[in-house]
Structure 1
Amino acid sequence: MGFSRTTDVAATDMSEQNWNDVLTCEEALARLNIKAATLYSYVSRGLVRATPHEDGRKRLYLRRDIERLAARKRGRPPTGAVAELTLRLGDPVLHTAITQVTPHGPRYRNRLAVDLAGSGAAFESVAHLLSTGIWQSGLATWSPLDTPPDVLRFLSVYEGGVASGDIGALLGMVPFALAMQGRGTREIADGGAVQAARLMMQSMAGCVGFLGPERIFCPRAEGESIAGQILRAAGAAVTPEGLRALNVALVVLADNELAPATFSARVAASTNADVFSCVAAAIGSHIGFSTGTGTEKVETLLLCEPLSALDARVERVREYGASLFGFNHPLYPGGDPRADLMLQAAAQIAGQGDATPAAREGTRLTVAFLERMRRELDAHPGVALGLVTLARALGLPDGSATAIWIVSRTAGWVAHVMEQRTQAFLLRPRAKYETTASAETARFADETAGAARL
């Protein structure tokens, strides 16, 4: 059976269902009076859950999801039902003027991210665009900002290095450390979110040094870009080609609408938390097992050594491609343009004379494997795969991809924090309380039985 880009019902969920609770494709189409393409769209958006048929050739669709959509088509559903559906990768739940998801990738304030990256736009300019709505093509570097001494003392505890799997947690502590000694309070009072964002990004970029050969924090040098700081901190060659390639990743990953971590940042912002705390909340969500740790899982479970054995891992992609490694993003069912651009940049870097033989061969094997997965399993690489491949082509240590993603996405998180503040309402959805087999239910059953005996 080929790789599917649908959202399967989890095994634990389906174990509680019986085959009377699912519908065939034909039954679902008839119930909703739609075409097959529309049904597949519902599945990719998470509105309908699907599971393989026991014969392995067909798919079955969860009846309750189909019935819920059918109720929506008959008339306007209750407000609570609408809200519940929008929180399941459905229609947008918040108005935003920052990023729009399109088949060509995210569009930042009416500018396609892949076009910005392909034209060589600086990440610093894109971060400024996201936060302010102002495009400054000449904004290549930021004025120097010193990481506060107390934060440097905190980070000095990690001199000697951190494990690649811990870098996300370390970066999550950096915003909280920056918020201390009144800096968070002053950010709110002075409206200094843009400067605070720059301080966070350069401080987190410096933490890549804990993965590099010196295993220490690497402050940003005068006139240095964020891309240059990351490359230098990681001990990689700082070349024009390398800067352009890393800048591609930073630009295309800067925002992706209301991803879970972005929503977390907006929830925190709605409580009037300072921007440091909002970004810390976002990082905590980003490094969850189902989202930002995708880069670590790609490094350790799929694109692990020996890369010459990649062909033996086809079954891992077939079985766990979407859930573990980020193939077939549901918002980009035709393939993720951001990942494709990073893979293209990786191939170009590997073809340069400065690339090491190991990086050149590893990139060649990886790109060929991913192309095979696309061709044979209809498995389109996601950004975690593209980012890890690019980081390795640049000679960066494992764990760097996680750090790059967080540094880049901080630009989008701050933009959403600033926008949420202007909307001035508390994000507080209501829960739908449902009783379980409780003592009250048991008592009612006993009373009913007693009445029957009378």
Structure 2
Amino acid sequence: MTQQNDLMTREEVLGVLDIKPATLYAYVSRGLIRARPHEDGRKSLYLRRDVERLATRKRGRAPTGAVAESTMRFGDPVLHSAITQITPHGPRYRNRLAIDLAGGGASFESVVHLLMTGIWQDSIAEWPMQDTPSDVLRFLSTYNGEVASADIGNLLGMVPFALAMHGRGPRELADGTAVQAARMMLHCMAGCVGFLGPQRRFVARVEGDNVAGHILRAAGGALTPARLRATNAALVLLADNELAPATFSARIAASTHADLFSCVAAAIGSHIGFSTGTSTEKIETLLLCEPFNALDTRVDRVREYGASLFGFNHPLYPGGDARADLMMQMARTLMDETGKGAMNATARENTRLTLDFLERMRSELNAHPGLAPGLVTLARALGLPDGASTALWIVGRSAGWVAHVMEQRTQAFMLRPRAKYGLGGPVTSESFETFETPVSR
């Protein structure tokens, strides 16, 4: 948790940096200075280390090592990429806003193609059928009935490694079949959602399934037009978010010439870390959980742990995450769905209570729901079982991981940062010229 002396008021920041309020807002919107909500809910505080880093730059260029270290700590860009740009309105995929693609009904399949190739084809509704390899099916069958909601991320992490076996990984590298391999992997992951559904096993794709439909059918959900649209939109919103830790892991693996499956496995291992992808599980079990009529008793949890545990106030989106807002809007739309497959009265009331609670956190605590609470809310409105939010995030984000792997391959260099070695604790920026490690791989 951030301590009070690690934070600065608006007036202190303006004085230290000698800037105007508009410039401070620009720094925050670009992620150069991270903001935290004040306890009174009406203003923000700012991370002292971010302010001090900018002040150092204004005084003069820091040593190369110090600059490199600061960029690795949620700092400045460290890699060139033409895939995704972070904007105040959410990520922009190759010059197309994710929220516009999702809200406009663009298929996840078209977005995957855009991310991987840079070419937009809005007519891709589904991919050609590919059989899941028989050895992978045998491997998955050993887990029938035995996958808990908290384990779905680990299971999905094993899927790429299973697909890489029997020479399929080396063939992907040698034959340039990354697109076909990615499609097979995404549908295999979608079928694994069946371990959370009523069948408690892998659910194979059938003719006519797109990825959204495959996930809904595997989870045992109703395949109504509204639910298919919402699931597809969620996958589009999840597809990429620039150089997130898991994406960086995928690029590091790609820079060593690892096959596509191994790169995605590396990304999943990073994604399900305690501070990132597992936030959906914590939200399902500790925040947006039964009894829903007691949500107001959990205000203190948001106040104390909202940013660190539950994904509120993403530092890249200090004014609120447009992706989460769209997900919550879609959840509210599902409440109005009628006819076969529509949510029952209990689910409708729980969704209403959840949405009202999240809006209250925004207005009273300046706690803006991030992707994780937005995703859990939408998954619950879709009637998906716990754990499905984690699965949706991994399946959707795999599209971006694949795109970054393909881009990293074209850049043809190894990502190998250097360590700074020091004795007896942290080394200051003045110590970079001593205790350097020898170059190694």
After TM superposition, the score normalised by the length of structure 2 is 0.90
Conserved in 1, the CA contact under 8 Å of 2:347 and 2:381?
yes
Secondary structure in 1 matching 2:142: helix
1:293-352 C-alpha deviation (Å, 9 max, x unpaired): 111011000011000100111111111111111111111111111011111111111221
Q: 1:148 Cα deviation (Å)? A: 0.6
Instruction: Give runs of aligned pairs for residues 46-445 of structure 1, distance below 5 A.
Output: 66-353=51-338, 354-436=342-424
Q: 1:83 Cα deviation (Å)? A: 1.2
1:169-196 C-alpha deviation (Å, 9 max, x unpaired): 0000000000011000000000111111
Q: 1:70 Cα deviation (Å)? A: 2.4
Secondary structure in 2 matching 1:107: strand
Q: Distance in 2 between matches of 1:55 and 1:192?
A: 55
Q: 1:59 Cα deviation (Å)? A: 8.4
Conserved in 2, the CA contact under 8 Å of 1:208 and 1:400?
yes
Q: Distance in 1 between matches of 2:99 and 2:150?
A: 29
**Which amino acid in structure 2 is aligned with residue 306 of structure 1?**
P
Q: Distance in 1 between matches of 2:220 and 2:37?
A: 47
**Which amino acid in structure 1 is aligned with residue 242 of structure 2?**
E
Q: Distance in 1 between matches of 2:160 and 2:15?
A: 52
Secondary structure in 2 matching 1:158: coil
User: Could you list the runs of 5+ residues in structure 1 that have no partner in the other structure?
Assistant: 1-7, 439-454
The residue aligned with 1:29 is: 14
Secondary structure in 1 matching 2:251: helix
Q: Which deviates more from structure 2 when the two are superposed, residues 54-63 or residues 411-420?
A: 54-63
Evaluate the alpha carbon distance shift between residue 313 and residue 191 of structure 1 in structure 2; reply closer, same or farther with a 3 A threshold: same
User: Could you list the runs of 5+ residues in structure 2 that have no partner in the other structure?
Assistant: 427-441
The residue aligned with 1:3 is: none
Q: 1:213 Cα deviation (Å)? A: 0.5
Evaluate the alpha carbon distance shift between residue 300 and residue 219 of structure 1 in structure 2; reply closer, same or farther with a 3 A threshold: same
Alignment RMSD (CA, Å): 2.5
Q: Distance in 1 between matches of 2:51 and 2:344?
A: 53
Q: 1:75 Cα deviation (Å)? A: 2.1
Conserved in 2, the CA contact under 8 Å of 1:262 and 1:413?
yes
Conserved in 1, the CA contact under 8 Å of 2:186 and 2:395?
yes
- Based on CA coordinates, which of the two structures has the bigger radius of gyration? 1
Conserved in 2, the CA contact under 8 Å of 1:45 and 1:330?
no
Q: Distance in 1 between matches of 2:142 and 2:245?
A: 31
Q: Distance in 2 between matches of 1:128 and 1:357?
A: 39
Q: Distance in 2 between matches of 1:364 and 1:62?
A: 34
Q: Distance in 2 between matches of 1:112 and 1:61?
A: 28
Q: Distance in 2 between matches of 1:252 and 1:84?
A: 30
Q: Distance in 1 between matches of 2:39 and 2:216?
A: 50
After TM superposition, the score normalised by the length of structure 1 is 0.87
Q: 1:34 Cα deviation (Å)? A: 2.0
Conserved in 2, the CA contact under 8 Å of 1:47 and 1:85?
no
Q: Which deviates more from structure 2 when the two are superposed, residues 216-225 or residues 413-422?
A: 216-225
Q: Distance in 2 between matches of 1:64 and 1:320?
A: 20
Matched residues, number: 423
Evaluate the alpha carbon distance shift between residue 158 and residue 82 of structure 1 in structure 2; reply closer, same or farther with a 3 A threshold: same
Q: Distance in 2 between matches of 1:74 and 1:266?
A: 34
The residue aligned with 2:434 is: none
Conserved in 1, the CA contact under 8 Å of 2:172 and 2:181?
yes
Q: Distance in 1 between matches of 2:98 and 2:9?
A: 39
